[in-house]
């Protein structure tokens, strides 16, 4: 493979976190479909190679003796390289070329080691043909060029919708994001309407979530309706409990798709956290795992969701209509935010299509086609809380799976209101039990309003516990990372075992033939 020494340091130093970006040209690393391998050696300044392969992150250089090691990259679009201050060494690419790495202290000494992060990009080579290019433009996987939606005359033009929100009450999101300036970091998840990936916005080192919604058959009706709804989303100013919207784009790729850029929430959605918790419990069967979703956490989540809903309604008359665990996001700063409001699901999928598995958080009045108010979202919140603390969707779990959507819908309408379980090892504060009961009232007019719930004792009793909740979020973040690592290792093990089995089968066939 041809390789030219790249301009390693892609300028920017983040002041706050002392981050620098290190960019390798796309083809600098001759990776294969499964990633690439880098050999490192740290011989100078007495740095040793810690070889801490932490997800996409590699940490180099700890304290004393010199050493070297191999680092295998999984198939990633980007990775981080952490160099301790004072680290000096070489990074050997598997094409026999080497890059010098230096991270000297200002005084050039090795004292006061501090972590400095260098990010570089290892693009998964879709086109593995060698290239000599060193242009930084080639480092970043270029996205499709955004194009006009082709709205009918008089409708919103590209410029009015396909830019990020400009100003807000609590600050500004600043410049618009260009898709070309994004580097994909990996898939976060996918839902009924599309796929969400994590991406790095290179100019300001901001991590964003990029949601792609395919629009089948160039359906202009759908596109135009989405554009109208995205316009509403764009107009929503920043709020502590609403995921910030950075922009929306319509692209002509192999298929047409709408791209929505939004704030990345680093602990993910409640459904994901619940899954991580379940796996954590399964791995710690011997020691009784402390429930993650305790009174404090549920109170803070409820408070965040209710405040977000109230803001959307009072300021914009928006009713969310789709409160469910995957639409409530958390970050390690202790923030709770709701997402996915405003984009009409019915345009993308019918109710039956959106019904996956055994859950729907729709209120009885909505199912029955009655007038739907913001209290429908209160019902959904009640179900979300029950699901978080029991680990099961309340109207369909515990080995009592409904027979399809019609059975589930009739359960919601005809069966008694869902409640928090009592006994069987469950213990909840009485305030929490009352709170959930007030959310899960089937008769809409009897159900508590958002304002009433925000004044409930269950919300007030944890008001002064922000610090504890923040601590919880940080811990959850660590557990998510551990879970990812364990699952990655498990996958690798399974792959290896499969390979070994295939080899053994091949050897047996060869032996039989001969």
Ligand X SMILES: Nc1ncnc2c1ncn2[C@@H]1O[C@H](COP(=O)(O)OP(=O)(O)OP(=O)(O)O)[C@@H](O)[C@H]1O
Which residue numbers are catalytic? Answer: 322
Q: Residue written as tokens 């810690």?
A: 50
Q: Is 439 in the site for ligand X (CB under 6 A)?
A: no
Helices and strands (H and E) in the chain: how many = 13, 18
Half-sphere exposure of 177 (CA within 13 A, CB side): 28
How far is it, in rounded angstroms, from Cα 244 to Cα 381? 21
CA 58, CA 100: separation in Å to the nearest integer?
16
- Cβ proximity to ligand X: between 35 and 186 the closer is 186
Selected range binding ligand X among 51-59, 137-145, 165-173, 265-273, rule: CB under 6 A: 265-273
Of residues 29, 149, 339, 420, which one binds ligand X by CB under 6 A? 339
Residues 344-373 that bind ligand X (CB under 6 A): 354
Binding-site member from 189, 214, 397, 429 for ligand X (CB under 6 A): 189
Q: What angle do CA 68, 118, 125 make, to 5 degrees?
A: 80
On the CB side of 266, CA atoms within 13 Å amount to 15
Angle separating helix axes 270-283 and 375-390, nearest 10 degrees:
10
| Ranges of H-type helices in 260-399 | 270-283, 295-316, 345-348, 351-354, 364-367, 375-390
| CB burial of residue 35 (10 Å; 0-12, 13-18, 19+) | middle
Instruction: State which residue, 202 or 330, has the beta carbon closest to ligand X.
Output: 330
For the CB of residue 260, give the shortest distance to ligand X in the complex, in Å.
9
What residues are paired with 272 via a beta bridge?
none
Residue 272 in the binding site for ligand X (CB under 6 A) = yes
- Annotated binding-site residue numbers for ATP: 211
Q: Please report whether residue 4 would count as binding ligand X according to CB under 6 A.
A: no
> Which residue is at the shortest CB distance from ligand X?
191
264: contact with ligand X by CB under 6 A: yes
Q: Which stretch binds ligand X (CB under 6 A): 64-72, 224-232, 321-329, 414-422?
A: 321-329
> Contacts with ligand X in 221-260 (CB under 6 A)?
243
Beta-strand pair 57-60/52-54: antiparallel
Measured from the CB atom, the residue of 6 and 268 that comes closer to ligand X is 268
Residue of 122, 188, 202, 226 that binds ligand X (CB under 6 A): 188
Judged by CB under 6 A, the residue of 31, 61, 191, 364 near ligand X is 191
Stretch that binds ligand X, among 85-93, 269-277, 414-422, 465-473 (CB under 6 A): 269-277
The helix-helix angle for 466-513 and 295-316 (nearest 10°) equals 100
Which stretches of the chain bind ligand X, using CB under 6 A?
A: 188-194, 196, 209, 211, 243, 262-265, 268-269, 271-272, 326-327, 329, 339-340, 354
């Amino acid at each position: 493979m041809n390789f030219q020494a790249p301009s390693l340091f892609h300028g920017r130093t983040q002041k706050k976190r002392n981050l620098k970006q290190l960019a390798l040209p796309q083809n600098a690393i001759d990776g294969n479909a499964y990633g690439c391998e880098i050999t490192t050696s740290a011989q100078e300044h007495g740095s040793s190679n810690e070889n801490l392969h932490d997800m996409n992150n590699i940490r180099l250089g700890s304290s004393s003796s010199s050493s070297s090691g191999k680092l295998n990259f999984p198939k990633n679009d980007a990775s981080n390289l952490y160099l301790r201050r004072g680290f000096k060494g070489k990074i050997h690419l598997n094409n026999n070329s080497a890059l010098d790495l230096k991270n000297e202290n200002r005084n050039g000494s090795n004292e006061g080691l501090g972590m400095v992060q260098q990010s570089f990009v290892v693009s998964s080579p879709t086109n593995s043909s060698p290239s000599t290019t060193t242009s930084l433009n080639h480092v970043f996987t270029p996205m499709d060029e955004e194009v006009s939606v082709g709205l009918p005359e008089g409708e919103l033009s590209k410029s009015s919708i396909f830019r990020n929100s400009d100003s807000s009450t609590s600050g500004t999101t600043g410049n618009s994001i260009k898709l070309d300036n994004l580097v994909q970091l990996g898939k976060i998840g996918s839902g009924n309407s599309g796929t969400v990936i994590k991406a790095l916005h290179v100019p300001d080192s901001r991590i964003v979530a990029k949601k792609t919604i395919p629009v089948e058959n160039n359906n202009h009706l759908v596109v135009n309706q989405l554009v109208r709804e995205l316009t509403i989303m764009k107009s929503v100013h920043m709020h502590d409990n609403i995921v910030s919207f950075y922009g929306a784009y319509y692209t002509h790729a192999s298929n047409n798709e709408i791209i929505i850029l939004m704030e990345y929430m680093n602990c993910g959605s409640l459904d994901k956290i619940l899954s991580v918790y379940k796996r954590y419990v399964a791995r710690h069967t011997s020691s009784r795992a402390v429930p993650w979703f305790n009174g404090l956490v549920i109170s803070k989540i409820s408070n965040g969701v209710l405040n977000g809903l109230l803001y959307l309604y009072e300021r914009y008359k928006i009713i969310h209509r789709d409160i469910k665990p995957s639409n409530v996001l958390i970050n390690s700063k202790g923030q709770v935010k709701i997402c996915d409001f405003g984009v009409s699901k019915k345009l993308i999928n019918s109710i039956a299509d959106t019904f996956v598995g055994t859950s729907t958080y729709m209120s009885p009045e909505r199912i029955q086609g009655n007038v739907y108010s913001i209290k429908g979202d209160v019902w959904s919140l009640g179900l979300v809380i029950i699901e978080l603390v029991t680990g099961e969707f309340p109207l369909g779990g515990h080995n009592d799976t409904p027979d399809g959507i019609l059975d589930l819908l009739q359960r919601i309408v005809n069966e008694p209101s869902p409640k928090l379980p009592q006994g069987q090892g469950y213990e909840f504060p009485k305030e929490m039990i009352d709170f959930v009961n007030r959310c899960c009232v089937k008769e809409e007019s009897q159900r508590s309003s958002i304002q009433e719930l925000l004044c409930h004792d269950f919300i007030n009793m944890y008001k002064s516990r922000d610090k504890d909740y923040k601590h919880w979020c940080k811990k959850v973040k660590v557990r998510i990372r551990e879970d990812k690592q364990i699952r990655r290792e498990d996958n690798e093990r399974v792959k290896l075992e499969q390979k070994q089995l295939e080899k053994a089968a091949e050897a047996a066939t060869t032996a039989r033939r001969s």
